[in-house]
Amino acid sequence: MIGGGIGAFIGDAHRRASRICNDFELVGGVFDVDYERSKQFAGNEGIDPSRCYETVDSLIKGELALPAVERMESVSIVTPNALHFGFAKNLLNSGFHVVCEKPMTMTVEEAEELENIVHDQKLTFSLTHTYTGYPMVRQMKDMIASGTLGTLQRIDAQYYQGWINSIIHGTESRITGVWRLDPKHAGASSCMGDIGVHAFNLIEYTTGLEIEEVLSDLNPVKEGVALDLDGTVLIRFGKNLKGVIRASQVCGGEENNLTIAVYGSKASLKWSQENPNYLTLLSDSEPTKIFKPAHGYNDKFAEMSHTMPSGHPEGIYEALANIYKGTAKSIRGEEFTPGEFPTVHDGVRGMKFIHAVVESNRKDNTWVKI
């Protein structure tokens, strides 16, 4: 693991998920930019001190010196955004499979370069768009593909949070001390790059369609903030299918309110991340139906994705574990279901979305092709 040391929420989530799926063991890494803190973390985790490296370059060198049967097979990158590309490129070119947090890179060009490297090296690259791991999201994907909704006519997704209010309305030093608000570390966007891209990915994942154009209106909310903290994006798939993505980090009281609704000519489906065990099927001609995990009425993909019996709630760790499970199958060369883990191509699509949204806003809210 690169990053994810003491106090890092996302690193802890990855470690828990990899343990839940029972396919990975954490054997080493570079856990902190501060080598002493990195060693402290390794000690806390019971990791061999010789495999707690000071830099990624020393990790690559040290691991390649080991016999192949002892060497790390895969490396998870859970650092701030600006570090993803360089680390992923070096690891892939050195023969390591990679699991990476999103957004995958800082630019579209970097994303496309990684896609070419993954193709040339014939390695597994897994991008942790975690929400694709939920059983009911996978059920939604299969139901749409089977034609349950008829002709798709409208797609809405939103991702609302409120955590950044206390930061931007605090002191100036607090604003400048948050890496997600700094273009050097976060990239071209804060809100759309951090959470809006999840809504975008969820739309393309569940529908199997690619958004063609976007028109955005972004808002930094407060003077002195360099990146967007709120925004609305109109989306077009083609002539007769359109929708909207709404994302915000300044909705007071909201926690992790990610929802998606796909409306069709026969029926519609709605899912919410804060109540992930419930998938709602709406119809004009039948009563509303609720689908839940661990039931025989679900499709095979959803049923292979739950880890607990029916009635036992599962959450973000289990969803991420499903992505790790699919990644392990790919690394081993085993057969896996398309959609078990987001790939490098999903990373390219995400970067194209983020930059198209930023461009649309900069051009006075005009339509921009992805």
The model's pLDDT over 248-298, given as tens digits with 9 standing for 90+, comes to 999 999 999 999 999 999 999 999 999 999 999 999 999 999 999 999 999
pLDDT at 312 over 80: yes
Burial of 297 (0-12, 13-18, 19+ CB in 10 A): exposed
Q: What is the pLDDT of residue 172?
A: 65
Kindly state the average pLDDT of the residues 163-190.
86
The tokens of 109 are what? Answer: 């060009």
pLDDT in tens, 50-78: 999 999 999 999 999 999 999 999 999 99
Domain topology for 135-302+344-362:
Dihydrodipicolinate Reductase; domain 2 (3.30.360)
Q: CA–CA separation, 206 vs 351, rounded Å?
A: 19
Helix or strand holding residue 98 (H, E): strand 97-100
Q: How many helices (H) and strands (E) does the chain have?
A: 14, 12
The alpha carbon dihedral of 177, 178, 179, 184 has a sign of negative
Question: Is the pTM for the entire model greater than 0.85?
Answer: yes
User: Is the pLDDT score of 176 beyond 80?
Assistant: no
pLDDT at 135 over 70: yes
Q: Where are the domains of the chain?
A: 135-302+344-362
